[in-house]
Structure 1
Amino acid sequence: MPYKPQSEPGKTAYQPDVQITRLGEKIGDPVVPADFPHHILRFRNDRWDQSIGLHSLNDEEWLSHFGKFEPLADNLYPPLALRYHGHQFRQYNPEIGDGRGFLFAQMRDHEKRLMDLGTKGSGTTPWSRTGDGRLTLKGAVREILATEMLEALGVNTSKTFSVVETGEELSRGDEPSPTRSAVMTRLNHGHIRIGTFQRIAYEKNEALMLQLVEYCLEQYYGGVQTDDPAAELFAKVAQEVAKLAGAYMTAGFVHGVLNTDNINITGESFDYGPWRFTPYWEPGFTAAYFDHEGLYCFARQPEALHWNLAQLASALRLIADSEPLVAALEGFPKAYGTAFTQHFCWRLGVESRGFDEDRDLVVAAEKGLAEKTIQIDRFFFDWGRAENLAGLDENYAAFSEFSTLIADRERSRQPVSSYWQQSGPCSMHIEEVESIWDAIADDDNWKILSKKINDIRAMGIALRIG
């Protein structure tokens, strides 16, 4: 089946549905939000607020819920800092959990999916260790840009729902300090991580493990369908994580910190720190300055996600046999290859013909991109509107094989949007990220960020409908 991006958000009534408490007190710890000195609304997601029935809130009401964290009607109270463990750069850490965030609310969206509102920078929790539980405003701005860009590029991602500047001055060792502070709320289809399962396996709590498996199947995958729910869940998660890996690569995105505590059980990308988009098809491109070995570099992301799935399989061995888990894990490379080639064809705007033919097309494109004469976004932009090699400049000399293979492909969309008439693509490289932040830091100028969000969304529409 050809790749299809997530549908546009629809409008629905507010439908609170707290399900997380069914898992008992060991899933998280009640916490009290920080009391911030100021509450200045800087970003409100006017696309996704309607999808969970919160579009009717005025700005004052919005700030009371997403700046002061007064509970939403008939929803979770108090909020919960979720417990989990995780491999961080492949070193197991049993002392982590939500250290500067919490699960704030759960509700149904316009498609009846269970959605979470979770925070970042909302204060200390039992898992903060030596951290201050805060978030820099720059970090919040970067997360807006990451999620908007990934959503437009068809990547299954969390949505930045709200950013409120909080008036505190924060000190950070890896950026100029003091710096401005914020609290962010994200919208996710769940906050259960691979690390959640690892913690339960570490504690050898078979009853809770089975309960969590059934919870995830019921809430995220349509219910329990077999008499081996752990293997059933793992097979579904492996498929979704394979799709995520393929989408990352086509987007030219480098998450930077693909630890097991950052991998959502729904295959939804979230929790953005040192992310970057690589301008060129550069396998060793890294996002995190502290990733000295290139563990999570651009080309190693599929392998990193595969390794993380192996840790989930290991955790599920508490209640499941090895054989079906191993079988699903061994199927990951094929699932990833299919997802990658389908997503690649989608971004090109041409029909998918099955893995073998699509693979040949993608390999030819990679060969050309590896010459680094054309940036990734420019490549997809030019071919998304071009019929053939004619009219493209000499930088495309390395793409002759690709040009031959794509010549007889039918278009899956026609480039009718005004986006395709622009002089160049919408990109999101580090220099632009820094310039957007500099305008805010130096002059409190938010117009450049707003324009960029509009440009990204226009690209997203063009990629979906032409």
Structure 2
Amino acid sequence: MSFSPVSAFAELGSDFADPVDPADFPDLKLRWWNGRWAKEIGLGDLTGTQKEDHFARFGPFEGYPHPPMAMRYHGHQFRNYNPQIGDGRGFLFAQMRDPNGRLLDFGTKGSGQTPWSRTGDGRLTLKGAVREILAAEMLEALGVYTSKAFCVFETGDQLHRHDEPSPARGAVLTRLQHSHVRFGTFQRHAYEQAPDRIEALIGHAIAAYYPELSGLSGPARTTAFLEAVTGATARLAAQWMAAGFVHGVLNTDNLNVTGESFDYGPWRFLPTYKPGFTAAYFDETGLYAYARQPEAVFWALQQLALALLPVGDRDQLVDVLNTFPDAYEREMTIAWCRRLGVAQQDNSGDMVRAFIAFMAASQLPFEAAIFDHFCGEKGRISQSDRDYSGPEYEAFANLFAEHKPERPERLAHSCFMQTDPVHMTIETMEAAWAPVHERDDWSALHNLLSAVEQARAGYDLGNNRIGFLPEETL
């Protein structure tokens, strides 16, 4: 595929974003380059100088005439409405098409101040950038539809943060994802009583991501758009749960119209099954705890529906929202069957519930239990020394035995030759970061990322079928 930038969001006009200048960084070092995805979008042959020009200095691509744009949005932050936010330390840098023709964004984090920075410095710490890389890579390996950490440069900045040892090393991240149009983007224009802008945003999103809806108009189009976003968001919530992932900050500005997982500030993966497990130290009430994530995204969808109300039909929008619980249950079954490597059948929902009950009772390592059972009862279970017994396990095992393994040849992959799977608990992440912080030693981090890549290839969960690549390329 050859790289060819396109203009789409910029054509919406000046009400949707503000042109900004990127920061001028004192000293640049390339720390991460996503070669796999660079190749897929036609940027695999960039030189080191070109990488720096485009992804650290943010010089424009040939054929893309727009400056970086700080996108305008509002949002509920821990359910308190904030009309003072927008892209405060990032911008939309460029857009292109994926191999299926869908729009793709290059968005940044840590690229400098914007009109929406308020009192912030617009910068990102190197540890924050590394955390973004690890979250995105691990989630992709586990079958979650996620943004990709595309490029990270260390910037030479010395930053002061209250939640990291200061001064902290600075970095700038470029992420690749289909959309940065958030629920909060619609909320802003509803707040400003601009139904024409809401209509324009819906039209943009449908043309870019849901072209099958392009023949609709008026309230029917709004209803169909909400239905599509509801389905995508239900899928995302289910994939997080099956991955044992806790996003940490499920505000309405951190959920987008394509149902992609993105913006990895505070996050955690479960060590064991704990419904109340939280990712953010400031989430004192557990609003975004692991088991409350479906509730959180459903609440956010309700706020999106309210923002769409000026151009929609109330009763129809409510009817769409009422489909979320069933959609989420369906997606949970799909996500868990994929994670366990078995084909879905009529009693798969019962099997999933039995497995969760066993995990809650046993408190076995979350990722290891899935790893041991991958591709059915003839998989790794007999090789494991973990305790698979008790009434909860018997209930699960009886249902699991009825499920056919899906592509059991995957078990021949080298990642299944080891005793334990790679996982991304906080201890794992900190152990990989510590040598970087202490002596600029990146070997542990590179080893961890190599293990994650090995797991991605071994599990081969097909997340690209709903991500960037067409099915026939898998």
Give the whole-Å Cα distance in 2 for the aligned partners of 1:93 and 1:277: 28
1:291 to 2:291 alignment: no
Q: What is the match of residue 411 of structure 1?
A: 405
Residues 236 and 260 of structure 2 are in contact (CA less than 8 Å); yes or no, is this contact kept in structure 1?
A: yes
Residues 76 and 104 of structure 1 are in contact (CA less than 8 Å); yes or no, is this contact kept in structure 2?
A: no
Give the whole-Å Cα distance in 2 for the aligned partners of 1:22 and 1:266: 19
Q: What is the match of residue 265 of structure 1?
A: 257
TM-score, length of structure 1 as denominator length: 0.95
Tell me how far 1:376 sits from its aligned partner.
Answer: 1.1
Q: Report the 3-state secondary structure (helix = DSSP H, G, I; strand = E; otherwise coil) of the residue aligned with 1:267.
A: coil
1:14 to 2:6 alignment: no
| Alpha-carbon displacement from aligned partner over 1:50-83 (angstroms, at most 9, x marks no partner) | 2221111111110111111111111152110000
C-alpha change, 1:307 and 1:196, in structure 2 (3 Å) is: same
Tell me how far 1:385 sits from its aligned partner.
Answer: 5.3
Q: How does 1:179-258 map to 2 (within 5 A)?
A: 179-222=168-211, 223-227=213-217, 228-258=220-250
| Alpha-carbon displacement from aligned partner over 1:121-140 (angstroms, at most 9, x marks no partner) | 00000000000000000000
1:140 to 2:140 alignment: no
Give the whole-Å Cα distance in 1 for the aligned partners of 2:363 and 2:112: 46
Q: What is the match of residue 53 of structure 1?
A: 42
Q: What is the match of residue 395 of structure 2?
A: 401
Tell me how far 1:392 sits from its aligned partner.
Answer: 4.8
Residues 373 and 396 of structure 1 are in contact (CA less than 8 Å); yes or no, is this contact kept in structure 2?
A: no
Residues 252 and 376 of structure 1 are in contact (CA less than 8 Å); yes or no, is this contact kept in structure 2?
A: yes
Alignment RMSD (CA, Å): 1.3
Percent sequence identity over aligned pairs: 49
Residues 76 and 106 of structure 1 are in contact (CA less than 8 Å); yes or no, is this contact kept in structure 2?
A: no
Tell me how far 1:271 sits from its aligned partner.
Answer: 0.6
Residues 31 and 78 of structure 1 are in contact (CA less than 8 Å); yes or no, is this contact kept in structure 2?
A: yes
Q: Which has the higher mean CA deviation after the structures are superposed, 48-57 or 246-255?
A: 48-57
| Alpha-carbon displacement from aligned partner over 1:97-138 (angstroms, at most 9, x marks no partner) | 000000000011222211000100000000000000000000
| Alpha-carbon displacement from aligned partner over 1:212-244 (angstroms, at most 9, x marks no partner) | 101101101124132321111100000000000
Q: Report the 3-state secondary structure (helix = DSSP H, G, I; strand = E; otherwise coil) of the residue aligned with 1:310.
A: helix
Give the whole-Å Cα distance in 2 for the aligned partners of 1:61 and 1:394: 50
Residues 164 and 182 of structure 1 are in contact (CA less than 8 Å); yes or no, is this contact kept in structure 2?
A: yes
Q: What is the match of residue 335 of structure 1?
A: 327
Q: How does 1:60-459 map to 2 (within 5 A)?
A: 60-222=49-211, 223-227=213-217, 228-354=220-346, 357-384=347-374, 387=377, 392-393=384-385, 395-398=387-390, 399-414=393-408, 415-459=411-455
Residues 279 and 375 of structure 1 are in contact (CA less than 8 Å); yes or no, is this contact kept in structure 2?
A: yes
| Alpha-carbon displacement from aligned partner over 1:305-325 (angstroms, at most 9, x marks no partner) | 000000000000011111121
Give the whole-Å Cα distance in 2 for the aligned partners of 1:373 and 1:235: 37
Q: Report the 3-state secondary structure (helix = DSSP H, G, I; strand = E; otherwise coil) of the residue aligned with 1:26.
A: coil
Gaps of 5+ in 1: 1-11
C-alpha change, 1:92 and 1:114, in structure 2 (3 Å) is: same
Residues 152 and 174 of structure 2 are in contact (CA less than 8 Å); yes or no, is this contact kept in structure 1?
A: yes
Give the whole-Å Cα distance in 2 for the aligned partners of 1:120 and 1:392: 42
Residues 377 and 400 of structure 2 are in contact (CA less than 8 Å); yes or no, is this contact kept in structure 1?
A: no
C-alpha change, 1:345 and 1:196, in structure 2 (3 Å) is: same
Tell me how far 1:394 sits from its aligned partner.
Answer: 6.0
| Alpha-carbon displacement from aligned partner over 1:177-205 (angstroms, at most 9, x marks no partner) | 00100000000101100000000000111
| Alpha-carbon displacement from aligned partner over 1:37-62 (angstroms, at most 9, x marks no partner) | 01100000001112221111111110
Residues 375 and 406 of structure 2 are in contact (CA less than 8 Å); yes or no, is this contact kept in structure 1?
A: no
Q: Report the 3-state secondary structure (helix = DSSP H, G, I; strand = E; otherwise coil) of the residue aligned with 2:169.
A: strand
Tell me how far 1:420 sits from its aligned partner.
Answer: 1.0
Give the whole-Å Cα distance in 1 for the aligned partners of 2:66 and 2:363: 54
Q: Which has the higher mean CA deviation after the structures are superposed, 154-163 or 320-329?
A: 320-329
Q: What is the match of residue 5 of structure 1?
A: none
| Alpha-carbon displacement from aligned partner over 1:242-262 (angstroms, at most 9, x marks no partner) | 000000000000000000000
Q: What is the match of residue 466 of structure 2?
A: none
Amino acid at match of 2:310: L
Give the whole-Å Cα distance in 2 for the aligned partners of 1:107 and 1:317: 31
Q: Report the 3-state secondary structure (helix = DSSP H, G, I; strand = E; otherwise coil) of the residue aligned with 1:25.
A: coil
Gaps of 5+ in 2: 463-474
Give the whole-Å Cα distance in 1 for the aligned partners of 2:327 and 2:363: 30
Give the whole-Å Cα distance in 2 for the aligned partners of 1:62 and 1:364: 49
Q: Report the 3-state secondary structure (helix = DSSP H, G, I; strand = E; otherwise coil) of the residue aligned with 2:207.
A: helix
Tell me how far 1:371 sits from its aligned partner.
Answer: 1.7
Give the whole-Å Cα distance in 1 for the aligned partners of 2:41 and 2:151: 13
Amino acid at match of 1:142: R
Amino acid at match of 2:437: A
Aligned residues: 453
Give the whole-Å Cα distance in 2 for the aligned partners of 1:394 and 1:313: 46
Residues 104 and 118 of structure 1 are in contact (CA less than 8 Å); yes or no, is this contact kept in structure 2?
A: yes
TM-score, length of structure 2 as denominator length: 0.93
Q: What is the match of residue 472 of structure 2?
A: none
Give the whole-Å Cα distance in 2 for the aligned partners of 1:391 and 1:102: 49
